[in-house]
Amino acid sequence: MKIEPTFNNVLIEPIDRDERTKAGVYISKKAKSQRAKVIAVGRHLVDGVEDVSEVKAGDTIVHKKWEGQEVKLDISGKPFVFIKYKDILAVEENEK
């Protein structure tokens, strides 16, 4: 299935958190991850004019914690989330 988000929306797949931190502290399963993989990006508009998007499908991002609308798009039941472009805080760069 191919999905193209509408203006200024981004479809992401949350990245599961590790159940334990490096220090050995357990994290609640209810804790929401702020890292996600970008699945699709809608056209990015700034003041009504289309602008170049800084994120693309396949990028790993950090987003605001309590933003987004969770949806289930396929029979696997895997959660996906639509967020606003403005709710993206950072794009992780791959170290080479």
Per-residue model confidence (pLDDT) at position 87: 93
pTM passes above 0.85: no
Amino acid in position 87:
D
Per-residue model confidence (pLDDT) at position 66: 77
Phi then psi dihedrals of residue 86, to 5 deg: -65, -15
Burial of 35 (0-12, 13-18, 19+ CB in 10 A): middle
Using the CB atoms, write b or e for 44-75: b if 16+ within 10 Å.
Answer: beeeeeeeebebeeebbbebeeeebeeeeeee
When pLDDT is cut at 50, 70 and 90, the band that residue 15 belongs to is confident
All structural domains of the chain with their residue ranges: 9-17+30-92
Token pair of 48, please?
């009504």
Options 2.40.37.10, 1.10.760.10, 3.10.450.50, 2.30.33.40; CATH for 9-17+30-92 is: 2.30.33.40
Q: What is the pLDDT of residues 33-60, one digit of tens each?
A: 788 999 999 988 888 888 888 899 999 9
